[in-house]
Structures are given as structure tokens and as C-alpha cells.
Amino acid sequence: MGPYDSSISAPAGSSSTSSSACSSSTKPRQPPDQMDHLLAGAGYKVRSNDLHQVAERLEHLETAMVKSSPVEISELGHDAVHYNPTDLASWVDSLLTELNTNPPAAVGVPTDLPDLHPFPADINMYSNNPPPLHGEFSQQVVTPLEEDVSIRLVHVLMTCAEAVQRGDLSLASLLIDDLQALLGRVNSVCGIGKVGSFFVDALSRRIVNSSQNGVVQDDLSAYENEMLYHHYYEACPYLKFAHFTANQAILEAFDGQDCVHVIDFNLMQGLQWPALIQALALRPGGPPLLRLTGIGPPSPDGRDSLREIGLKLAELARSVNVRFAFRGVAASRLEDVKPWMLQVSPKEAVAVNSIMQLHKLLGPGQPIDVVLDWIHDLNPKIVMVVEQESNHNQSVFLDRFTEALYYYSTMFDSLDACTAQPVKSLAELYIQREICNVVCCEGSARVERHELLATWRDRLTNAGFAPLHLGSNAFKQARMLLTLFSAEGYSVEENEGCLTLGWHSRPLIAASAWQAVPEPSATMGQINHP
């Protein structure tokens, strides 16, 4: 890496739920739902009133384990799928069920499903790159001088951002000159030099344009957008992880369903779907009828790029005997999509797939509420949400700037380590556009309004969705894939039923799955009723 020998993890805006004990401002007086706060600090949620019961379950589990053979215990570790270890009671119960003792009525125990082959190397329609080799670390020596310069660089960046926040643009401009000089002294090929230059660039744009109403980013052509996206997809594992985790969850949600309909909020080049099509083809009992509705921007030049992708996917589906239908929905913004355009039939099982799209709905007017409403009304079996794990939606510019600096520094750090593409300029440009949007833009132009998983949890719960937990099978496969496709240093973590992918110990994207809770007026039934 670069001049500063640190991979620094960012402020957690709302701290991970496992340490919720520390951040509660008052200690309530033991209402029935009160969690034991000491266990909460250790990462486990157990109600104070349930402690005795949980202890009893643990005793039963121990007895059951003692009675089992080492082979059975090994199998428990191997084949059983574990979910959300934070919910200790459920975890213990699921193990007891596996060991075939008599548990109380446990929440639906998941069945084993065919594992997904995520990146079909043989059915790779889009990538012409050879499979990436496991990267080696290039050792970069950090001289004390370089470390000083990089520390100073960050310090001046922050001072400049503060000046911008205060409206002191003449000072800010002077500081930009300082920053340019500092950038000249720092290794700009990697590390803080590289990401620093993007932030300096974004700040100076903001300063220059603040006389007008914020910066409007130039629109790229659809082709340019796709190019950047594709390079980002190849250069680092974030999108691959998102696709893979989503597909695994969708596959499980579609178990037993004959007619399924996937709604992709951003089709792009459809990179996610060959793997799902293949997995459905291989599923025991045969594939369902698969409909895919892909949402994407309209093509300006008479091409119908959505349809083109659809045709390619259809060809693939035909080759593996999956009955397939595609529909493209052209919309420049997600909020312009109306549910009737999706033509969802009541007989089909619906999956909504949103990879880094929902945050775009958090701007003025909060179209997110309307969209979540109609998603809910589609009664989806699963809503897959993958989002950047950071709070880039703070109204105070300085706070937003600081979070972004931490977040994208870490992301660039991770990019440096992947050597699949030695020259990563297009992938970096993809990220740079995000940075620019977060830093320079305001109002409806600012679409990169990332929020933390904890915030998304609240939002989705309030909108009438309940979590579907991602389990140890998805976790394990994600980890195995990372060793195949990426450098060491990436980490997958389990967070109360969600999975995050990050660089070292800093989560950078979070994947969660949801299902619609029926309206209270509807017929009663369990949440996991198929």
C-alpha cells in the first residue's frame, strides 16, 4: 500500500447492534423485552426474563451432544446451516433440532438447498478476462517522511472541508493549493495519495461551483456507465459478493415454487443472472418458469439495450432448459417506475433484487416510502437489499465528508490489493464518481445517499418487512470465493442475519434479505408460511 501504513476503519455512525448496551442513553427498568445488557455487550441478545430458559436449553444441548458420536457433532458443525448467532436461544434450539431431541416449536428450520455455483466460468458471456490469479502483496516501505506528509494531507483535507462547511471559500481555495502541493510530494499511485487526489478534486469542484446550486455531475453515456461498472465488477469482489449472496437467498426463497419472477432494480449487463439461471436449472425437482424484469435507463440511440441483455439471458436459459421470459422496464430513475409496469401476477413468487439502488430514493421528497410501499404490495417472497455500509447521507457536510474519506480510503486500500487488473483506472473512475456525488452534490443531484445497515433495518421494519436470515452456508461460500477471486484481507462477517463484506475489519457493503409481513387485516399466518 501507500505512505500511510494504516487501514483505518471508519466511524460507525450507529454502532453495531452487538454493542448496543454501550450506546443506550438510559437504562430502562426491566420491561419484559429488556435484553440482558451484559450479554448484549458480548454480542448476544437474550431477554433477561428468558435467561433461565436459555440456560436450560443449553443444558439439554450439552446432554444431547454428550450422547452423540463425534461424527454427529462434526456433522453439526459441517452440514447444519446456522443462522444469526446473536439470537442465542434460536441458535441453541436449531442445534437441538438437528440432534433430533425435542425442542419447543422452533422458528422454521431451514432445509438444505443446492449450493449455488456463483461464477460460471464456462457460461461467461460478458467477461473476456482470464480467471484472476491469487494476488501477491507488493511490499511498500513507509518512510517516516511519507507518513508525515500523508498525515498532513489528511489534516489539510479536513481543514479545507471545514472551511467549505463554514462558507469560507477563499480560505478553502488557498487550502486546495496547499493540497495540490502535498499531493505532489506523496506517492499518488496508491494509498492516501490516490484517494486523496479524488477528494481534493471533489472539494475544488464544490468550491468552484458553489456560486450555482451545487454541482451537477456530467451524465455519462449508457455505454460509458456500463464500462465503468464492468471494470468495477472485475477489479474487486464487492459486486460479485452482492450477486452471489443475493442469488443464494433468492434460490432458497424460491424453493418449491413453480412460477418465479425476479425484479432487478438495476439490470446493467445482467451479470447477476446467469448463475441463478444455472442454479435453477440444476435444482432438484427441476427448474421453475422464470420471469425476469430488468429495470434500467432508457437507451438514447435507438438501441434497446435492456432487450439485448434479455435476449442473451434467454439464450442461456434455453441452453439449460429453463423456461424463461424477460421484460425490460426503461426508467431514468427508480421512483419513475410504477408497479403496473412490472406486470406481476398473483400466482408467481416474486423476488425483488436491489443492489445499491435503494439509497438513491432518499433524496428530497423521500420517494423511498412510496417505493417500499409498492414493493410490499407485490407481496414478495424475498426482497434482497445490498447497500454500501456507511453513512453518507448526513446533512452536515463535514460529517459526510469525513465518513466518505474513511470509507473510500478503505475501499481504495482493498482495490490496491487485488491484482487481477494491474491497471484499475476505470474501476477507480467508477468509485470516483461516487465520491464526487457524495462530496459535491446537493439536493436531487445527490443520489449516493448511503446509510448504515442499522438504519436500513429500521426503515424496512417500519415499512412492514421482516428479516430473512442469511446463514452459515452463504457465509462459508462467500469466504471460499474470496480466497479464489481476491486478495487476502477481505472479510465476510455475520451481523444478526445479514452478511457484510469488508476490508480487514471494516465492513464496506452489507447484504440483507427481507420478506413482506402481511397486513394485519389479512388472514393470519406464520411469517414463514410458504
Of residues 10 through 69, those in contact with another protein by CB under 8 A are: 10-12, 15-16, 18-19, 22-23, 36, 38-39, 41-44, 46, 51-52, 54-55, 58-59, 61-63, 65-67
Q: Does residue 435 belong to the site contacting another protein (CB under 8 A)?
A: no
User: Which window, 123-131, 148-156, 163-171, 261-269, contacts another protein (CB under 8 A)?
Assistant: 148-156
Chain positions 439 to 458 lying near another protein, rule: CB under 8 A, are: none
As a residue count, the chain comes to 530
| HEC readout, 344-383 | CCCCCEEEEEEECCHHHHCCCCCHHHHHHHHHHHCCCCEE
| HEC readout, 103-123 | CCCCCCCCCCCCCCCCCCCCC
Smallest gap, in angstroms, from Cβ of residue 490 to another protein?
10
Rank residues 20 and 173 by Cβ distance to another protein and give the closer one.
20
Smallest gap, in angstroms, from Cβ of residue 378 to another protein?
32
Q: Does residue 480 belong to the site contacting another protein (CB under 8 A)?
A: yes
Chain positions 377 to 406 lying near another protein, rule: CB under 8 A, are: 398-399, 402-403, 406
Smallest gap, in angstroms, from Cβ of residue 174 to another protein?
19
Chain positions 111 to 140 lying near another protein, rule: CB under 8 A, are: 137, 139-140
Rank residues 48 and 209 by Cβ distance to another protein and give the closer one.
48
According to CB under 8 A, which one of 77, 285, 422, 520 is a site residue for another protein? 77
Chain positions 459 to 478 lying near another protein, rule: CB under 8 A, are: 472, 475-476
Of residues 527, 228, 529, 203, the one with CA closest to residue 397: 203
Q: Are 496 and 86 in contact (CB under 8 A)?
A: yes
Smallest gap, in angstroms, from Cβ of residue 425 to another protein?
23
Q: Cα separation of 431 and 202, whole Å? A: 12
Cell match 516501505: residue? 141
Q: Are 382 and 514 in contact (CB under 8 A)?
A: yes
Q: Cα separation of 25 and 293, whole Å? A: 45
Q: Does residue 506 belong to the site contacting another protein (CB under 8 A)?
A: yes
Residues in contact with another protein, counted by CB under 8 A, come to a total of 76
Chain positions 87 to 106 lying near another protein, rule: CB under 8 A, are: 88, 92, 95
According to CB under 8 A, which one of 149, 203, 262, 492 is a site residue for another protein? 492
Q: 495: which residues sit within 8 A by CB, 6+ positions away?
A: 16, 17, 18, 453, 507, 510
Q: Does residue 185 belong to the site contacting another protein (CB under 8 A)?
A: no
Q: Does residue 419 belong to the site contacting another protein (CB under 8 A)?
A: no
According to CB under 8 A, which one of 99, 116, 149, 154 is a site residue for another protein? 154
| HEC readout, 422-461 | CCCHHHHHHHHHHHHHHHHCCHHHCCCCCCCHHHHHHHHH
Rank residues 70 and 284 by Cβ distance to another protein and give the closer one.
70
According to CB under 8 A, which one of 47, 85, 126, 282 is a site residue for another protein? 85
Q: Amino acid letter at 135?
A: G
The DSSP 8-state label assigned to residue 48 in this structure reads: G
Task: For residue 270, give the 3-state DSSP assignment.
Answer: coil
Q: Which three cell numbers stand for residue 248?
A: 443464494
Rank residues 11 and 300 by Cβ distance to another protein and give the closer one.
11
Q: Does residue 521 belong to the site contacting another protein (CB under 8 A)?
A: no
Of residues 82, 88, 18, the one with CA closest to residue 46: 88
